[in-house]
Amino acid sequence: MLSAATLGKPCIIRYSRILSNCIKKNGTMSYLDNIRTFVRVYELGSMSAAGRDLRISPAVTSARISQLEDYLGVRLFQRTTRNLTATEQGKAYYSGAVTILETVDAAEAKVMHLTEVPRGSLFIAAPLGAGRRLVAPKVPDFLAEYPEMSIRMRLTDRSVDLTTEGLDLAFFLGQPEDSNLRIRKITDCQRVLCASPDYVARQGMPKSGADLVSGTHACLNLRYPGAAEFQWMLDTPEGPRRYAVSGRYECDDGDVLTDWALTGQGIALKPVFEVAEHICEGRLIPVATQTPPVPVQMACLYTHRRHQDPKTRLFMDFMTENMARSIREAEARVAKMVSRP
């Protein structure tokens, strides 16, 4: 039997008390379903989108939220005919609700791990930069822990279709287009505009996004069907703003853009973890620092399955922890380097 000590999660105790109270009141386990529904409505910002994601009707989605609000005695969302926004109580409840679900999922994963040795193969996809620097280096460690498993990786900066390509999961940067898939956020990635010292000496140091579109600077664009990175979202004093940058260099491989930046061909927009080593060693330097890029989420995309394959969850759990740590460490190194006088 798994105990709170075994799981190492204090919130198990809190969850058990809450769930126990709910069972006494309702005689069911519906409270957990209501929490899952609340989290998806909060994350997707729509009752209908959450219903599609959870494979339930809009009526059931609305009923679950109403039941949860009745149980808590507060309103979690403000509803109008056009908009749905979380209340202050809803915002406060979200983080705890996510913790409850993650704890339950972790408990289930432990049970599965104890009752069956994971075996078989996983087909995963990742962006080139993240795959090479964050995922691939940790695959040997994962396979050493689970010797009955094998991993097949596909690295691409293009969008992937999990269903048609037979993928078990895909790591990505940004926002996915398919709302029917499940998302597990890993972390928010800091990004940087960077160029080589030779480029800056030749073309001058751009101070902001306005300089990038003035016609004096060359921007290196990640371009493939459906890509929007040629419109760079930068953080200005007035808020986030898109800049329609241009340049003669385009590629669907982010690492090629880094190579071009290193040889002085232009300015690249890159996740910090991809260019941390180059910045720390002075081969690339941050530019247009008055309007830094807006951070982008790193997340994992997987298909909706009520009873998910245990090995898929094991791999996600393993990689999520390791990737988040690697990203934070890279960003800390760059922040320390940039802050030096």
Maximum average pLDDT range among 24-28, 273-277, 314-318:
273-277
> Comparing 13-22, 167-176, 206-215, which segment has the lowest mean pLDDT?
13-22
Tell me which of 63-77, 144-158, 222-236 is least confident.
222-236
Q: Which band of pLDDT confidence, cut at 50, 70 and 90, is reported for residue 230? A: low
Give the number of other CB atoms < 10 A from CB of residue 10.
12
Report the phi/psi class of residue 13: left, alpha or beta, with left for phi > 0 and alpha for psi in -120 to 50. alpha
Give the CATH class of 4-113.
Answer: mainly alpha
Supply the pTM of this predicted model: 0.64
pLDDT at residue 307, rounded to an integer = 47
CATH 3.20.20.70 fits 191-294, yes or no: no
Percentage above 90 pLDDT, the chain: 55
The dotted CATH code for 116-189+297-331 is 3.40.190.10
pLDDT in tens, 106-162: 776 666 665 567 778 899 999 999 999 999 999 999 999 989 899 999 998 888 888
Smallest Cα–Cα separation from 187: which of 62, 311, 326?
A: 326
Averaged confidence pLDDT in the chain: 84
Strands 84-86, 250-251: pairing is unpaired
Is the pLDDT higher at 209 or at 157?
Answer: 209
Is 191-294 in the same CATH topology as 116-189+297-331?
yes
Q: What is the domain partition of the chain in residue ranges?
A: 4-113, 116-189+297-331, 191-294
Condensed to tens digits (0 to 9), the pLDDT of residues 179-205 reads: 567 888 899 999 999 999 999 999 999
